[in-house]
Chains A and B, each alone.
Chain A
Amino acid sequence: MRALQAEGVKTIFGYPGGAIMPVYDALFDYTRGEKKCFDHILVRHEQGATHAAEGYARVSGQVGVALVTSGPGVTNCLTGIADAMMDSTPIVVIAGQVPIGALGTDAFQEVDLVGVSQPISKWSYQIRHAEDVSWAVSRAFYIARTGRPGPVVLDFAKNAQTEEIDYNPQKVNFIRSYVPYPKLEAEAVKKAAELINTAKKPLALVGQGVELGNAQSELRAFLEKADIPAGRTMLGLSALPSDHPLNAGMLGMHGNYAVNLKEQECDVLIAIGMRFSDRVTGNLKTYAKQAKIIHLDIDRSEIDKNVKTDVAIVADCKESLPALTSLINKADHKEWRDSFKPLDEKEREKVIEPAIHPKEGPLLMGEVVNAVAKQAPDDAILVTDVGQNQLFATRYFKYLHKRSICTSGGLGTMGYGMPAAIGATFAAPQRTVCCFMGDGGFQMCIEELGTIMEQKCPVKMIVMNNHYLGNVRQWQDMFWMRRKSFTKMMNPDYEQIAKGYGISYQAVTEREKLVAAIRDMLTTDGPYILECAILEEDNVLPMTPPGMDVDKMMLEV
């Protein structure tokens, strides 16, 4: 407990069980009365604890903590750990383990946690004795939050939980084999600046690294000085405000049309804290072949992993961006920027307007998101589940404040939304949390409604119900000859469910009632479920079919 306190932990998402009972017993005293220093949030399923910790971490910038028992308690966490690994989210999962004397005997609720979690965590360690606790906890937090952040797993043997020792605080802030912040190489910065200074059509790709490095203003200074338009990855959406004049929209398969085409036309491509995911690049064989590539990343292993770079700057972007900015010339690329406009216009006319301002027919996801974004406060946080709801929500929400988006990017974890939104409300109690889900994802971690009820988490849940697993259905229609194999869903009566949990609820089926319903949701204190009856077979557009060249993006099906 004191080791966690020393790391500044305030909120713990957890679920008790046999092998973690000594810790829970100690927690009893530390969550009430004069010793109180933690809030413990009892989730309803351990997967929820990890996603809540992720949501907490993403919004607060602090390490999220999940506390669970051994065996099934922690195998339930594996999805969240893998998710945090893919999306560089700093969380520490502390799990009980059988006493070391029982290890390897197939003891009750024993699982080889270090073995199963190693490939999906940044560090995984078994605490075998009480004297290890202070060192291991400090090392775990140090590793989780520094460099490229990620999940750390502590496998806490029960005997180590009960052994009594004098508390000997240890602080780890150096590991000789681990270089979280590589030294900036002046030569690379110089080369990159030279490329940027000769560029006629520079394009920046901004990723979550900018948010993780807290370099949002350094990014703006860099872009503004050389007048460089910038696309953002899905995880990097709030690294640059959406109303910034140099914001060129979202990258990727369902991103914005102009920026996807311009990736194939730019002469210098500057990737900042992003990893060239296949969902961004499409066909790597043809991707940005005409351009010189500059890649800024804190993780050396990302360089040349997917896209070969001409200049790599391996450092924290908080440091590398100002260094680069100081060497680049002030520039004006008006002509280049203007060349985005007709394409943006085309997308607006063919895709955006019909999606957000439909004239007739059932409600559309784009229109719901747009209507929520219009009424939500400027610092509202967007949380999404995975699927069409995510693609529409990320496309049509607004990002005016840093750290405004929680979404499962790399792993694409359905069920992520609701628990992540719970975590977000604890990270920023004063901000509005809007959580968009489909009817599929809503049901995947639906048990967390219990947590929301108990904690009165003010999550504004927008369930966009189309009675389909919509994204898979879209692919079936587009690429699998319309054979809708198991994507149609029979749904429960969500009103009854909301009633059961005592959560405010409203359903909207008619366009005229949407704005008032959203107003009602946003002005009601506490949690709220807004169920929107959505057109069953709507498609997310534009779209670059998987593995295709990014400039083959389709505006219509």
Chain B
Amino acid sequence: MKKEQKKLYTLLVYSENVAGILNQVTAAFTRRQVNIESLNVSASSIPGVHKYTITAWSDEDQIQKIVGQIEKKIDVVKANYFTDDQLFIRESGLYKLATQMVLENSEVSRTIRRYGASIIEVNPTYTIVMKFGLTEDIISLFRALDAFGCVLQYTRSGRIAVTRGMQEQVSEFLEEREKNG
């Protein structure tokens, strides 16, 4: 499939907190040779339930099948897929810059301010800059800083996201299940 026909989808997967689930979730992608673009795992607001936020380039048909296979796993509570317009999305970027070059070129700090990034640590050797935002902004800041030649290290986190919908599907599903179980 050509990249142009693909779209970036975000999967939100909720599972019980037991060993081995991540393997099962990623295996659904591997089997179809779909690359995972980013992955974030953390505890969710529901006690004992973990939340996976996964992004992947694919088409809807394929993503639907992957979600179906993931949700089928015994300890997976819910799996859904979304496009960007259905979600509030954030990622974060960390930039380790050479302090001397930051001091020598005032454009560097101006760029950091312009992007709304914050400086969280400064010592004589390096300066750590952090930025929250959307993928493009974080990458764009990296490119800008990199052009000054001051970047020692750069890393971008996986996406985290919450839905724009009014319903909290997972907690409602679990309440319903506990009531009938």
**Cross-chain pairs A/B with CB under 8 angstroms, 6 sampled:** A114-B20, A176-B77, A176-B178, A176-B181, A300-B71, A303-B68
Q: How far is the CA of A301 from the CA of B64 in the complex (A)?
A: 9
> Which chain A residues in 111-136 approach chain B with CB under 8 Å?
114-115, 118-119, 122-124
Report if B76 contacts A (CB, 8 A): yes
Most chain A CB within a 10 A radius of its CB, from B24, B65, B72, B174? B72
Interface residues on B, range: 20 to 34
Report if A177 contacts B (CB, 8 A): yes
Pick from A119, A143, A177, A304: contact of B76, CB under 8 Å = A177
Report if A299 contacts B (CB, 8 A): yes
Please judge, given known A-B contacts A177-B75, A301-B68, A301-B71, whether A115 and B23 are in contact too, CB under 8 Å.
Answer: yes
A352 to chain B, nearest CB (A): 39
A: number of interface residues (CB 8 Å): 20
Say whether A178 contacts B23, CB under 8 Å. Answer: no
Residues of B participating in the A interface, judged by any CB pair closer than 8 Å: 15-16, 20, 23-24, 27, 31, 64-65, 68-69, 71-72, 74-77, 174, 177-178, 181
Say whether A301 contacts B72, CB under 8 Å. Answer: yes
Report if A305 contacts B (CB, 8 A): yes
Which chain B residues border A119 with CB–CB below 8 Å?
24, 27, 31
Say whether A118 contacts B174, CB under 8 Å. Answer: no
Say whether B23 contacts A118, CB under 8 Å. Answer: yes
| Nearest opposing residue in chain A for B27, CB measure | A119
Report if A490 contacts B (CB, 8 A): no
Which chain A residues border B72 with CB–CB below 8 Å?
299-301
Q: How far is the CA of A123 from the CA of B16 in the complex (A)?
A: 14
Say whether B181 contacts A118, CB under 8 Å. Answer: no
Which chain B residues border A115 with CB–CB below 8 Å?
23
Pick from A114, A174, A305: contact of B68, CB under 8 Å = A305
Say whether B77 contacts A177, CB under 8 Å. Answer: yes
Say whether B24 contacts A118, CB under 8 Å. Answer: yes
Say whether A123 contacts B181, CB under 8 Å. Answer: no
Say whether B20 contacts A176, CB under 8 Å. Answer: no
| Nearest opposing residue in chain A for B66, CB measure | A301
Say whether A118 contacts B75, CB under 8 Å. Answer: no
Q: How far is the CA of A262 from the CA of B178 in the complex (A)?
A: 46
> Which chain A residues in 127-153 approach chain B with CB under 8 Å?
143
11 additional A-B pairs beyond A118-B20, A119-B27, beta carbons within 8 Å, are A123-B74, A175-B74, A176-B77, A176-B178, A177-B15, A177-B16, A299-B72, A301-B65, A301-B71, A301-B72, A304-B64
> Which chain A residues in 173-211 approach chain B with CB under 8 Å?
174-179
| Nearest opposing residue in chain B for A175, CB measure | B74
